[in-house]
Amino acid sequence: MATNSHPITNTASRRKRIGLFVIAYNAVNKLDWTLDRIPKEVWDKVEEVFLFDDCSTDNTYYAAVGYKSVKGIQKLTIHRNASNLRYGGNQKAGYQYAIARGLDVVVMLHADGQYAPEVLPQLLEPFENDEADMVFGSRMASGGDPLKGGMPFYKFIGNKILTFLENRITGMNLTEFHSGYRLYSCDALKSIPFMLNSNDWHFDTDILIQFHEAGLRIKERPIPTYYGDEICYVNGLPYAFNCVKSAVKYRLHKARLYYSRNYDVKPNQFVYRETDPDSSHAQILRWIEQHRPAIRALP
């Protein structure tokens, strides 16, 4: 499934520079298991695997340093945020790093292993064929089976209801909004103000809406679902409220009833309504004309 159809740039004629961004917080017990599951062809293909530890309260950072030392993987780099930036803030740091490194594609992989590294080759294919600006690994897409993968039934129903509401409000048509398995074109990231998004969990909703508003190509691919003994830090009700709030803000922004800076992704396409004498723009221009002598006289 896809939404929108406008590519940022065509780099199909050359090999993409790919970075694998491992987002980590208190994942000491799962980190080595997750990294070991990354297919060899992906390790060979990516230019750098950069792990950002969000100031974990366990030994995630030191486990990553130890893993790098034992495995001798030079392309694995370890970074630790000086303070906890939260889920959205850590993503911002990782994407800024990828852009600064001049990468073409950045892949976000959770360090706790809840999103299968084994399917990375399939998720990268749309970029290699220049078919996407964002690839979204969906547990709800045709071919996935989230309940069989251990997703609790209440989360399955909650995901369905929340996704239905978000699609209706935003005009999108995704199978889900809430998977954290994301791959982005860095050129696309540079074209949207993702730094204005939330630092919390609904960053993922904000950036989906930005890609939609910017007319960028979003491709969904089915992924397997895995629920193990990892700790979930998401508080469900506030998260759901914030996701719907983001969708409503976008709808009001589109209707010009509310201005939201992070959804203003097309500033050069604003149309001046010069035919409306009662518009705010016409009134401002009339005021300037009426007070032009006084304005010119100002020191």
pLDDT for 21-63, tens place per residue?
999 999 999 999 999 999 999 999 999 999 999 999 999 999 9
203 and 275 share one domain: no
121 and 226 share one domain: yes
CB 20 within 8 A of CB 108: no
For 89-101, the pLDDT digits (tens) are 999 999 999 999 9
Instruction: Work out how many domains the chain is built from and give that number.
Output: 2
235 and 165 share one domain: yes
Question: Mean pLDDT across the chain, nearest whole number?
Answer: 88
Q: What is the mean pLDDT of residues 80-88?
A: 96
292 and 252 share one domain: no
257 and 274 share one domain: no
CB 245 within 8 A of CB 253: no
For 129-149, the pLDDT digits (tens) are 999 999 999 999 887 788 888
For residue 142, give the DSSP letter: B
Contacts of 201 (CB under 8 A, 6+ apart): 87, 88, 234, 239, 242
281 lies in which domain range?
266-296
Confidence check: pLDDT of 162 > 90: yes
What's the gap between Cα 156 and its chain centre? 21
What's the confidence (pLDDT) of residue 185? 98
60 and 79 share one domain: yes
What's the confidence (pLDDT) of residue 4? 59
For 197-252, the pLDDT digits (tens) are 999 999 999 999 999 999 999 999 999 987 766 556 666 789 999 999 999 999 99
* Dist. CA 98–CA 274, nearest whole Å: 42
Domain CATH for 238: 3.90.550.10
Q: What is the mean pLDDT of residues 110-124?
A: 96
